[in-house]
Amino acid sequence: MYKDSAKHRIDELTQQLRQHNYNYYVLSKLIISDSDFDSLLKELEELEKKFPEFLQPDSPTQRVGGEPTKDFKSVVHKYPFLSLSNTYSEQEIRDFDTRVRKAIGDEVEYVCELKYDGVAIGLTYENGILKQAVTRGDGIQGDDVTNNVKTIRSIPLKLRNNFPPELEIRGEIYFPLKAFEQLNADREEIGLPAFANPRNSASGSLKMQDPAEVARRPLECFLYFLPGEQNLSNTHYESLNYAKDIGFRISKIIALCKSVDEIFEFINDWDKGRHQLEYEIDGVVIKVNSISDQIRLGYTAKNPRWAIAYKFKAEQAETVLESISYQVGRTGAITPVANLKPVLLAGTTVKRASLHNADIIAKLDVRTGDHVFVEKGGEIIPKIVGVNHDKRNMDSKPVRFINTCPECNTLLIRKEGEVAHYCPNEDNCPPQLKGKLEHFISRKAMNIDSLGEGKIEMLYEHDLLKNVADLYELTYNQLLGLEKIIPAEDGKKEKKISFREKTADNIIKGIEQSKEVSFPRVLYALGIRFVGETVAKKLATYFKNIDALLDAGFDELIEIEEIGDKIAESVINYFSKSEHLEIINRLKDKGIKMVIEESQESGSMVLEGKSFVVSGVFENYSRDEIKNLVEYHGGKNVGSISSKTDYVLAGENMGPSKKQKAEKLGVPIISESDFIKMLG
């Protein structure tokens, strides 16, 4: 292709792709299929590769272009990044209205908007091109998170239509609720702590060091404020319409109000309606509409005088604390749980609440039989926030935290500097043991997906599994016909599960296949405390085989990069136990990989633990070649899409039902070029 026509086509593709993004993210209209979009994007990428002189920094291909950052640069805001004064009281909203009317007269008009519970962001555009995205910080200066923000597809890299030469706009980046639940489920599966609420996961995502990782988090953004000094329109309402016109995503939920009564109509509607939204809000923002009135009202040191936020009260209910039970987690940590008299709260019946640890119980001085206040804040699990002392029983006594494990009776310990109590019986305490087994079979470990939590439980109950080495001694005949009866509960009938031929066969096959799993993952699968995926990889690469690792002393271990005292102690402690050595010997005898292989040393393993469904026809590789690449780099090919699938790798002509399924389950659909990029 000649240069001229390449340039022409690059411009044309850029234009089309921008329009499609705008249709989808701003107008919510789906006009082009994902695969058609991907093929336009791919064509553009190829052309930009061939003619790098035409590659523009704001090209739709440049969303994940940034390098990983260690520290985010601090940037001083051009306009101070003020926050809003906020209130929970109806009277204070009336007082605000009175103040406004006093200053500017009775002809006032307000705009009511939702108050999104996310992370505030300021975007600057120069000649229509996104130059910088900065967090609020302390209001004077914030962090430059531009590379991460560029991965958010609803934020335009280039503006449309009649944009000014310089523009600053502010809004809120948030984590959609469904995706948040999925993210936490995924994190828990691999033993990472769950995020407490969507806001934390949004801010955590924005501060990740690698933009490619951020791109995998489905962040969204609503824009809601153009600092008025820019003189772009006469009213706030118009400025939002203008923002929409030049390419920004603006919420449709917005109302013009002329009186406090109208304001409260909006507030009450959304206080009730907020649980139907796909994102979290924590109140309503009320802004004076006219920009000249805003200027007249001005600012205090901290807040504009022309706006106020009304915050919804966290929903509370009073109920009785019937008893406290203690749960033993997979790491042996004990969590006290409040069993409550069922009570309706924020649309769901609450029967339990977390009491966190002994310190919290003591601080609340909560006692069995107390009337307690339960609240559902931003957190998913409700919490007890106080006790109604007027209703306390005279003879109630402070709670005595248990001192032995409720599962195995072992004396609990409390480590220095930690709030939780622990059961130290890691190898025999049932939940810890089952936890170890579940971790061993999990995706990033031995990836035996024909077994799951329920089946592990069943095998444990039938005395067929006491440790991970027992898995490799299971036989088809032992499994076939194995039964479990689930007793009738909550109006559901009694249920009987039994292993049929296919199940038994799949389990045996899955276990057999796990013998192919690489040594670093085997090491991770053992579940040694503090030995996560990265540490396991480090240790395996350094020692090359399990025997060398077994012989390693403390000093040698801490010599290795990133291995500190805590990890070294934990490794030595693990291998000092004869039960563990016996398990390792048995695993070795069964052919589990305990040695690093040559190809693993050279292979990148960048796809380790990731599962792919490869579908359609590809341009540069055959489907089999793609599948080989997946495996060569440590990934796994699976036949059909499930919620456990990490990526659908879509070529030309991928079936529409596959696409629909991936979209429904929120599995990212990636193109051949995305995939090649992942390989680095």
Residue whose CB is less far from ligand IVH, 16 or 203: 203
For ligand IVH, the binding residue among 115, 439, 444, 593 (CB under 6 A) is 115
> Which pair of structure tokens corresponds to residue 20?
């499609």
Using alpha carbons, select from 273, 421, 309 the residue that is nearest to residue 361: 421
For ligand IVH, the binding residue among 40, 84, 345, 571 (CB under 6 A) is 84
Beta carbons of 571 and 557 less than 8 angstroms apart: yes
Residue whose CB is less far from ligand IVH, 300 or 599: 300
Using alpha carbons, select from 151, 158, 168 the residue that is nearest to residue 219: 151
Dist CA 575 CA 560 (whole Å): 18
Hey, which residues does 536 pair with through a beta bridge? none
Residue whose CB is less far from ligand IVH, 284 or 662: 284
Beta-carbon neighbour count of residue 102 at 10 Å?
9
From 76-84, 260-268, 509-517, 546-554, span contacting ligand IVH (CB under 6 A):
76-84
* Size of interface with ligand IVH, in residues (CB under 6 A): 15
Q: Which residues contact 229 (CB under 8 A, 6 or more apart)?
A: 79
Closest approach of ligand IVH to the CB of residue 94, in Å: 20
DSSP state of 54: G
Residue whose CB is less far from ligand IVH, 66 or 227: 227
> Which pair of structure tokens corresponds to residue 475?
């036989």
Dist CA 422 CA 411 (whole Å): 9
Q: Which residues contact 363 (CB under 8 A, 6 or more apart)?
A: none
Residue whose CB is less far from ligand IVH, 42 or 236: 236
Closest approach of ligand IVH to the CB of residue 229, in Å: 11
For ligand IVH, the binding residue among 19, 33, 74, 83 (CB under 6 A) is 83
Closest approach of ligand IVH to the CB of residue 172, in Å: 5
For ligand IVH, the binding residue among 116, 242, 264, 618 (CB under 6 A) is 116
| Residue the block writes with tokens 């987690």 | 329
Strands 281-288 and 307-311: antiparallel
Closest approach of ligand IVH to the CB of residue 467, in Å: 51
Closest approach of ligand IVH to the CB of residue 139, in Å: 9
Beta carbons of 283 and 311 less than 8 angstroms apart: yes
Residue whose CB is less far from ligand IVH, 37 or 270: 270
Dist CA 576 CA 597 (whole Å): 26
From 67-75, 80-88, 310-318, 589-597, span contacting ligand IVH (CB under 6 A):
80-88
Residue whose CB is less far from ligand IVH, 173 or 361: 173
Residue whose CB is less far from ligand IVH, 257 or 479: 257
Q: DSSP H helical segments within 235-367, as ranges?
A: 236-245, 260-273, 291-297, 358-364
Closest approach of ligand IVH to the CB of residue 230, in Å: 13
> What is the H or E stretch that residue 466 is in?
none
For ligand IVH, the binding residue among 232, 240, 288, 307 (CB under 6 A) is 307
DSSP state of 429: S
Q: How many CA atoms lie within 13 A of 611 on its CB side?
A: 16
From 115-123, 151-159, 472-480, 645-653, span contacting ligand IVH (CB under 6 A):
115-123
Using alpha carbons, select from 475, 436, 438 the residue that is nearest to residue 455: 438
Q: Which string of x and - marks every residue 308-337 that binds ligand IVH (by CB under 6 A)? A: -x----------------------------
Q: Is 82 a residue that touches ligand IVH (CB under 6 A)?
A: yes
Q: Which string of x and - marks every residue 222-251 that binds ligand IVH (by CB under 6 A)? A: --xx--------------------------
**Catalytic residue positions?**
115
Closest approach of ligand IVH to the CB of residue 124, in Å: 16
From 45-53, 114-122, 473-481, 645-653, span contacting ligand IVH (CB under 6 A):
114-122
Using alpha carbons, select from 148, 96, 429 the residue that is nearest to residue 263: 96
Closest approach of ligand IVH to the CB of residue 178, in Å: 20
Q: What angle do CA 100, 101, 106 make, to 5 degrees?
A: 145
Dist CA 562 CA 342 (whole Å): 48
Residue whose CB is less far from ligand IVH, 77 or 421: 77
For ligand IVH, the binding residue among 38, 48, 113, 646 (CB under 6 A) is 113
Dist CA 135 CA 75 (whole Å): 9
For ligand IVH, the binding residue among 108, 285, 429, 504 (CB under 6 A) is 285
Closest approach of ligand IVH to the CB of residue 71, in Å: 23
> Which pair of structure tokens corresponds to residue 501?
């031929």
> Which pair of structure tokens corresponds to residue 177?
């609720």
Strands 647-650 and 611-615: parallel
Closest approach of ligand IVH to the CB of residue 228, in Å: 9
> Which pair of structure tokens corresponds to residue 224?
């809601």
Q: Which string of x and - marks every residue 143-172 that binds ligand IVH (by CB under 6 A)? A: -----------------------------x
From 109-117, 450-458, 464-472, 606-614, span contacting ligand IVH (CB under 6 A):
109-117
Residue whose CB is less far from ligand IVH, 84 or 108: 84
Q: Is 593 helix (H, G, I), strand (E, B) or coil?
A: coil
> Which pair of structure tokens corresponds to residue 62?
């440049």
Residues that bind ligand IVH (CB under 6 A): 82-84, 113, 115-116, 120, 136, 172, 224-225, 285, 304, 307, 309
